[in-house]
A and B are shown apart, each in its own frame.
Chain A
Amino acid sequence: MDKHDSTIYSKFNPYEDLQQGLTSEKLDVYRKSVLDTLKSPGMILRQKRDTLALGAMCALPYPQVSDRARRLIEDEVICLISEGAAPYHPRYVAPDYQKLLSLGSEFLELAPATDLYEATAHLLTAYYYLPSEPVFLGRIDHLLEPFIDTVDEDTAAHVLRSFWLMADRLNPSAFSHANIGPQETKVGRLLLTIDRKLKTLTNLTLRYHPDITSDSFALQAVANTLEVTKPYFLNHQAMTEAWGDNYVTASCYNTMRLGGGIYTLVRYNFKEALAQSDGTISDYVDRVIPETVERLVEVVNSRIRYLVEETGWFETNFWVQEGFLVRDRFTAYAGVYGLAEAVNGLMANAGRPDARYGSDPVANELAERIVVRFGEELAKHPGAYCEGKNGQITYHAQVGISSDIDVTPGTRIPTGEEPDLYAHLATEALLHRAIDGGISTILEFDQTAKENPEAVLDIIRAAHEMGIRTLSIGSANSEFIRVSGWLIRRSDLDRAKDEKALRHSSSYLAAGFFDTKPIHLHRIERKV
């Protein structure tokens, strides 16, 4: 069957049509899809409503794009990531909650907050009325520190705990994200203590700067991440260089300006772009990337224009009217993924199937060349209404969605193929330098790290210095750990594995010292 027949194209709903929207021939399929949602036993009411709303929107045609762009969408080089046909609100927003706390809101009928109770209640109210998915909960320490002394210490801890719990339960999603740091604050300290106990899904990022963040605060954060895989360690210095002081981290690890946001995220699949080339490196890098990036920009801009010019979103909601969101602080994302497969495919075509991204220096160089070239091409084309990033669409390493199969998130080295720690960081650092709109590397340490958080901080500092932007750190539950003075040899490891096989015991190596896919990582993978 012809892949270009969009009726059979699987990434869209069966009734969707890029050009025409819902047609009379597909009404039955559409009704069935609505009915299936209504009857779905696994969804709560809110989820059903959201799905129905998305379905209604997808009955419309998508914003007009050229034939060439449409073919790239159908070929899965450009991916619309189920944002739907008609973007009627920005994908991400990062409101200036501080303004809301200090001025109150006319629309929400809230007076300025005067104490910790009011400040947290205002925030929870604000989250409820957010004009897009609740991906950004604020720089919590900046927001609440001015109120922390309005109540006694115990009460402060109690109020903050309730706030943090409710923020999570109202939006139980790892895409909700709060920021702390770089300064140590009472609120930051308390929040870490609370977060470690509550183990919520809500994401947390520490904006880390070795000259500003105190060591003891950073070490508390390290201890936390080894228990609950957050906060993430964000390279504050590198981020301010790219965005100025007023940037935030939202959703997975996405960077945007405070008081602004991201209109839309359109994904670009390096792996599928390979099929557009003649298979050679030069054709891929020098022809396919420039040509397809231009079309990607076309698609992104068509969606931004629709949102800004057609829907009236920026004229009609209180977030903009009251100045909590400002249109010219917005930009959009071009989110890349599948780099590893593209690099390995190109190396194989060049007669080097053994040269894998992550372990081979030539493959690593190619990875960097591809990533840098993509960024250069992206920078050549203006993004519509993208004043929030100097008129440009923002370069982002996209983490992947559940339907991605056999394709590595963002620009990561595939799990299990990572070289040793330092080489892993050095390789990915080059790409972090080139991508300033959100990119992360996952590290995992064994249990000995918990006894020596300074060691983890040593590694974080060096990684940031090399250019790594976001680090997500967890710990593996392995019993097979190095004892001081003992040199683990490869034969020791092999023996441990043999014994494991003999005993059929899953607890001996647990997740495995050097084994590649610790169970723990699934949690991280899912959310970062």
Chain B
Amino acid sequence: MLPDWPCVFRTSLSYNGAAGSALKGMRSVGTRSRDEALRNESNEPAIGFVNKVLSQSFVDGPGNRAVVFLQGCNFNCLYCHNPYMINLCNHCSQCVSHCPEGALIFKDGLVAWNPEACIECDACIQACPHNSSPQVRRTNPHDLWLEIEPFAPFLSGVTVSGGEAMQQAQFVRDFFTEVKAQSNLNTLIQTNGDVPREDLEELLPVTDWFMVDLKAFDPAAHRELTGSENERVMDTIRFLARHKKLFQVRQVVVPGFNDSEAEAKQTAGFLMTIDPAIDLLFLRFRSHGTRGIAEAWETPGNEVMASMVAAAEEAGLDQVHRSI
């Protein structure tokens, strides 16, 4: 018998029962057919895999924002800040014994997480060999809105991040539809840009802006940093700029990969061919949250950051910033 845990737990248990087996053994949601688990052909709202909801953020778009972190990503960046969000859980159960609080239960081949018992020590995340987390909830757009509604008066808008938000495009669309129906909040998607065009098209009507991470302009550096090509990322930037939905292009400046003035010039030059008014933000790499080799990387200093900005401005861009 399972203890009488709160319904959040039961929901997550039922998610594991329904979708878990379909996803078992997958490297990431990005590798499976999109129709398989997330896209649903009926009129039922899509179901999302939510890692966390932040009620307050000053760094994920204009004004104060709620941020929804969705589980699952199609990239595998060396410096990923949330590596435990890359993959959906495959229920291998290796983390269960590491939980000091008995907040994880393995039953009928599935791992269930009890948020009430969890003390957020993250021992499970450390133990997971698959860049995943058992602390993921399955929720529908309306319930997710109900989580955000109480603090909506404090917000300018809602940002969906991840993971890669566009991996759950259908869910994001339904969620934003709900946000728009219930409030005046604006909506923003943070994406790595490696996204099918038709997904972007579907999101346009309910999304005010997109922020696209261009990890590197140089194809080799992009490949090395992310494990993927950047052609489609550039296409996405073009597409969104054309539809006036591009809030910002961001680039995390990583020493040795994309911290040269030449890289900044090229990135800026590419954006210039689209629109000189595109907002470009250089973010300092910081090792907080990273794993593996990136943990030892240096944070670029003020001089590097300033030279990147100067180079991009020289290339003609009007709006170039850098983070603190």
Q: Which residues of A contact B (CB under 8 A)?
A: 420-422, 445, 447-452, 454-459, 462, 465-466, 480-492, 496
A454 touches which one: B59, B153, B156, B288 (CB < 8 A)?
B156
CB distance from A123 to the nearest CB of B (A): 38
A-B CB contact pairs (8 Å), 7 listed? A422-B55, A447-B324, A448-B58, A452-B59, A454-B62, A482-B57, A487-B81
CB distance from A507 to the nearest CB of B (A): 13
Known: A454-B156, A458-B64, A482-B57. Contact between A491 and B120, CB under 8 A?
yes
Q: Which residues of B contact A (CB under 8 A)?
A: 51-52, 54-60, 62-65, 67, 69, 81-82, 85, 120-122, 125, 150-151, 153-156, 161-162, 190, 211, 213, 250, 283-284, 286, 288-289, 323-324
User: What 7 pairs across the A-B complex have the smallest Cβ distances?
Assistant: A491-B122, A486-B81, A455-B64, A458-B64, A462-B154, A462-B153, A490-B120
Could you tell me if A482 and B64 are in contact, using CB atoms closer than 8 angstroms?
Answer: no
Could you tell me if A455 and B63 are in contact, using CB atoms closer than 8 angstroms?
Answer: yes
Could you tell me if B81 and A481 are in contact, using CB atoms closer than 8 angstroms?
Answer: no
B69 touches which one: A459, A465, A487 (CB < 8 A)?
A487
Apart from A448-B58, A451-B58, A483-B288, what are 16 other A-B pairs with CB-CB below 8 Å?
A: A422-B150, A451-B323, A452-B62, A454-B64, A462-B153, A462-B154, A482-B57, A482-B58, A483-B59, A483-B284, A483-B289, A485-B190, A487-B85, A490-B122, A491-B122, A491-B125
Contacts of B122 in A (CB 8 A): 489-491
CB distance from A8 to the nearest CB of B (A): 51
CB distance from B319 to the nearest CB of A (A): 14
Known: A422-B151, A485-B81, A487-B52. Contact between A455 and B58, CB under 8 A?
yes
CB distance from A480 to the nearest CB of B (A): 7
B59 touches which one: A421, A451, A465 (CB < 8 A)?
A451
Q: Which of A455, A457, A496 has the most CB of B within 10 A?
A: A455
Contacts of B211 in A (CB 8 A): 484
Could you tell me if B58 and A489 are in contact, using CB atoms closer than 8 angstroms?
Answer: no
Tell me what chain A mostly uses at the interface: helix, strand, loop, or mixed: helix
Known: A458-B154, A487-B51, A491-B120. Contact between A448 and B59, CB under 8 A?
yes
B63 touches which one: A421, A454, A480, A487 (CB < 8 A)?
A454
Could you tell me if A459 and B64 are in contact, using CB atoms closer than 8 angstroms?
Answer: yes
Contacts of B213 in A (CB 8 A): 485
Could you tell me if A486 and B289 are in contact, using CB atoms closer than 8 angstroms?
Answer: yes
Known: A458-B155, A459-B154, A481-B324. Contact between A486 and B288, CB under 8 A?
yes
CB distance from B79 to the nearest CB of A (A): 10
Contacts of A462 in B (CB 8 A): 153-154
Contacts of B64 in A (CB 8 A): 452, 454-456, 458-459
Q: Give the distance in Å from the alpha carbon of A489 to the alpha carbon of B121 in the complex.
A: 9
Could you tell me if A484 and B250 are in contact, using CB atoms closer than 8 angstroms?
Answer: yes
CB distance from A487 to the nearest CB of B (A): 5
Q: Give the distance in Å from the alpha carbon of A309 to the alpha carbon of B55 in the complex.
A: 57
CB distance from A235 to the nearest CB of B (A): 14
CB distance from A331 to the nearest CB of B (A): 33
The residue of chain B having its C-beta at the shortest distance from the C-beta of A482 within the complex is B59
B156 touches which one: A455, A480, A490 (CB < 8 A)?
A455
Known: A420-B55, A484-B190. Contact between A465 and B81, CB under 8 A?
no
Contacts of B65 in A (CB 8 A): 455
Could you tell me if B63 and A484 are in contact, using CB atoms closer than 8 angstroms?
Answer: no
Q: Give the distance in Å from the alpha carbon of A107 to the alpha carbon of B58 in the complex.
A: 54
Contacts of A480 in B (CB 8 A): 288
Contacts of B82 in A (CB 8 A): 485-487
Q: Give the distance in Å from the alpha carbon of A448 to the alpha carbon of B64 in the complex.
A: 11
